[in-house]
Structure 1
């Protein structure tokens, strides 16, 4: 006798019957035990059914998260795309915007730099925004404070130089190392170090953290591309494909 047959027939009957036709609570203990045994036997002989169910659940969850992301981006669009305290690079007049929430001490943020730079160069029509989002300790906060202070005192070009230096820096972050970075950029370190503790610098970081909270961002790098969010590192080929898809939307 094929032990999978009763369970299969029961499953088919449940699908065909009204929702109220099957009530496990109406079964006797013996019937419940027999039913459970048949279901278990069927699943043991057809384990792919479990994987199919898991995959279906994951697909539904991913679709729900994607729609939630779209809604969150729409509600927070002004703070994401039009914040004057965030550096804008790439093509400022590009037809699509890529936003990155980054931490200078994040290994995957460092890995993403080359991919993002290649994407901006090969595409040529992407507006790129950096959101300072330090979450990995005091060194991360100090690095972001330094970069923001540089931008406030010396403008966008100097900020990009500071950003590139910080994202590739392998040593500790302290006054000495930041002074060395400033000197390499032909900048006077003293005013920058003083500016780092200014309230307006603190406010930039606080606003970015508040925005990240509203967007349910808990890690770096996190990208916003058009109306979708990319949580984690995405290699060049994947990013290029996502840009193409975003342009079609």
Structure 2
């Protein structure tokens, strides 16, 4: 009987090891990795030149940021405002959005609706509203978010149906581009010629833009 308490201690040790493992996994997945310089390979060209990816910012920007996102990705949601602030304060930055739904049916439904919003010229407003939302993204919730972002929901659903093949093809291209770049998940950025995986807050994002501008000199 003297050895009876041992299993409890072993269980506590195992729980501690698991917690440390989860913490390490979170860090590896969500903190930005070191920038990886890329050359203009066919894969990179397909990412940059895809005309169907939504964009915001001036056409004559000196730095283009490509961001791969998922509306069910918590890190994407928490860092999206930093990208919005950069767009608002830096007139020479352009952002290309790559909806990459990798977190289940809700992600796919939201991404499909977001791309359909382009037909009302409301992609950016809807994208921001989806990023600011919390909780499940089932069709009624997506409709409510769309209405709050100023979209005509009836038209949104009609556009989703009418352009379903084009929207599916665009999401498929984003998926191929992500795999071509070797992305491990969302968020991920291509800032100028540098690939960065993991979320970027304001300071890191500004530093990435400065790095891209130095590289272009």
**What is the TM-score of this pair, normalised by structure 2?**
0.76
2:81 maps to which residue?
114
**Is the aligned partner of 1:242 residue 2:208?**
yes
Secondary structure of the 1:200 match is helix
CA distance in 2, matches of 1:149, 1:121: 24
Deviations 1:87-126 (CA, angstroms, capped at 9, x unpaired)? 1112332111011000011111111112112222332211
Deviations 1:210-241 (CA, angstroms, capped at 9, x unpaired)? 11111101211100011110000122112212
Aligned positions, number: 181
**Is the aligned partner of 1:223 residue 2:185?**
no
2:27 maps to which residue?
none
Secondary structure of the 1:203 match is helix
CA distance in 2, matches of 1:235, 1:186: 28
Unaligned regions of 5+ residues in structure 2, if any?
1-32
Relative to total residues, which structure has the larger helix share, 1 or 2? Answer: 1
Contact 2:116–2:167 (CA<8 Å) still a contact in 1? yes
**What is the TM-score of this pair, normalised by structure 1?**
0.67
Unaligned regions of 5+ residues in structure 1, if any?
1-61
Deviation at 1:194?
Answer: 4.1
Secondary structure of the 2:41 match is helix
Runs of 4+ in 1 over 6 A off after TM superposition: none
Of structures 1 and 2, the one scoring higher in RCO (CA 8 A, sep 6+) is 2
CA distance in 2, matches of 1:186, 1:119: 23
1:148 to 115, 119, 132: 115
